[in-house]
């Protein structure tokens, strides 16, 4: 009898060990995405999901359909399921303390990408790493491009009226890009923002808001759209009003998606400030590193460029970095 019990116990032990070994082999990585509002977002979803699957890990994916409450639910589900890692981009900056405390308590490592959530934690131990665009710098690049473009035409002292299409209100890229733009443009009093309204990062709303700008603002020289999708919608509104986009109104977008490159090459748009959606390889690098017990910098921004028709317009304050010519890079742009 004793022998039989010993055999059963050792069998149970082997089975338990076997299960543990299996669980360690195949990680489960959950990803809470915000929705599908733009080409940028589609490319981001595809890239991150593919990278996780190509790494041989199980993917648990959730699309929050632009609702913060859905993201909160998704994070709680991930905790209940006991996933190994959580990849997260926050639709808006605030309102995360409670659920992120729950993530912290669960000890599931949190990998942040794209949009950074603001929290009131005392230190930064609540997340493992962040990878995403430097939104303040992107906004600043857009403003510097506009000023330098007018200077390059010998028109740097003209009165220039700018309308702005803002991203989703209080989202990290909206807050950062608006701030970066304002910080630069304030130094050039002849460049004025004469109207500014949200277009929620979508083409349809960009078009509708641009239509109303065209009716309410007497003289529009420049459109600064906080993403390319809104710029593309606005181009339709400008054409419908009988004006030539890219000529009658100078158009600067952000993201660097293929359709923006095409619009620049066709002369209907003038500039796009790059923000890469390709974050999958960094996510895999971070998780692989954490599994191996490595440490690395907490916050990493990708290297990005500014693209326009001819290249050559300086966009950093000291003039060292130059814009790239969109036509030279359009073929390699896949999203
Ligand atoms: O610019 C926009 C998207 O968070 C950086 O969200 C991202 C922004 C991107 O929908 O197109």
pLDDT tens readout for residues 245-289: 999 999 999 999 999 999 999 999 999 999 999 999 999 999 999
pTM, rounded to two decimals: 0.91
Q: Are residues 187 and 79 in the same domain?
A: no
Q: Are 84 and 29 in contact (CB under 8 A)?
A: yes
Query: Does 111 reside within a domain?
Result: yes
224 CB burial (10 A radius; 0-12, 13-18, 19+): buried
CB of 127 within 8 A of CB of 110?
yes
* 139, 122: one domain: no
Return the pLDDT at 319: 58
Q: What is the CATH number of the domain that holds 247?
A: 3.40.50.2300
Q: What is the end-to-end Cα distance of the chain in Å, rounded? A: 67
Region 298-316: what's the mean pLDDT?
89
To test the pocket of ligand 1, the residue of 117, 203, 233, 255 to mutate (highest count of ligand atoms within 8 Å of its CB) is 255
Our CA angle for 264, 115, 86, nearest 5°, is 130
Q: Quick one: 85 and 156 in the same domain?
A: no
Residue 287 lies in a domain: no
161 ligand 1 Cβ < 6 A: no
Q: Do 57 and 84 sit in the same domain of this protein?
A: yes
Same domain, 28 and 147: no
**Opening angle at CA 191, ends 189 and 195, nearest 5:** 115
Bridge partner residues of 307 (DSSP):
272, 324
Q: How many domains does one find in the chain?
A: 2
Mean predicted lDDT score pLDDT of the chain: 92
User: How close is the Cα of 15 to the center of ligand 1, in Å?
Assistant: 46
**How many CB atoms sit inside 10 A of residue 7's CB?**
10
Q: Please give the residue range of the domain that contains residue 317.
A: 135-276+304-332
Q: Is there a domain that residue 299 lies in?
A: no
223/321 same-domain check: yes
CA distances 127 to 6, 121, 260, 263, 286, Å, are 44, 11, 34, 39, 12
Please tell me the least confidently modeled range out of 7-11, 121-125, 164-168, 195-199: 7-11
Same domain, 88 and 167: no
Mean of pLDDT values over 132-148: 95
């Amino acid at each position: 009898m004793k022998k039989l019990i010993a055999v059963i116990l050792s069998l149970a032990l082997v089975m338990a060990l076997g299960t543990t070994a299996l669980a360690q082999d195949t990680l489960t990585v959950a990803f809470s995405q915000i929705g599908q509002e733009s080409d940028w977002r589609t490319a981001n979803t595809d890239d991150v999901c593919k990278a996780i699957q190509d790494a041989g890990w199980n993917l648990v994916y959730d699309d929050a359909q632009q609702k913060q409450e859905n993201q909160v639910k998704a994070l709680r589900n991930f905790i209940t399921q006991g996933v190994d890692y959580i990849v997260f981009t926050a639709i808006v900056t605030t309102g995360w303390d409670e659920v992120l405390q729950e993530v912290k308590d669960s000890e599931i490592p949190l990998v942040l990408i794209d949009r950074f959530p603001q929290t009131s934690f005392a230190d930064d131990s609540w997340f493992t790493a962040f990878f995403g665009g430097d939104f303040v710098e992107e906004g600043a690049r857009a403003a510097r491009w506009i000023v330098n473009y007018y200077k390059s035409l010998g028109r740097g002292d003209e009165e220039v009226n700018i309308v702005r299409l803002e991203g989703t209100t209080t989202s990290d890229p909206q807050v950062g890009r608006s701030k970066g733009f304002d910080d630069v443009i304030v130094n050039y009093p002849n460049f004025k923002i004469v109207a500014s309204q949200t277009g929620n990062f979508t083409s349809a709303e960009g078009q509708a808001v641009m239509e109303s700008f065209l009716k309410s603002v007497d003289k529009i020289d420049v459109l600064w759209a906080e993403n390319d999708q809104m710029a593309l919608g606005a181009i339709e509104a400008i054409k419908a009003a009988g004006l030539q986009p890219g000529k009658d109104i100078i158009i600067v977008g952000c993201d660097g998606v293929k359709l923006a490159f095409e619009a620049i090459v066709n002369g209907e748009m003038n500039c796009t400030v790059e923000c890469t959606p390709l974050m999958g390889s960094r996510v895999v690098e971070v998780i692989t590193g954490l599994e191996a017990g490595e440490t690395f910098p907490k916050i990493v921004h990708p290297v990005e460029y500014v693209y326009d028709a001819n290249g050559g317009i300086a966009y950093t304050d000291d003039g060292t970095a130059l814009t790239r010519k969109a036509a030279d890079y359009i073929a390699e742009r896949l999203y």
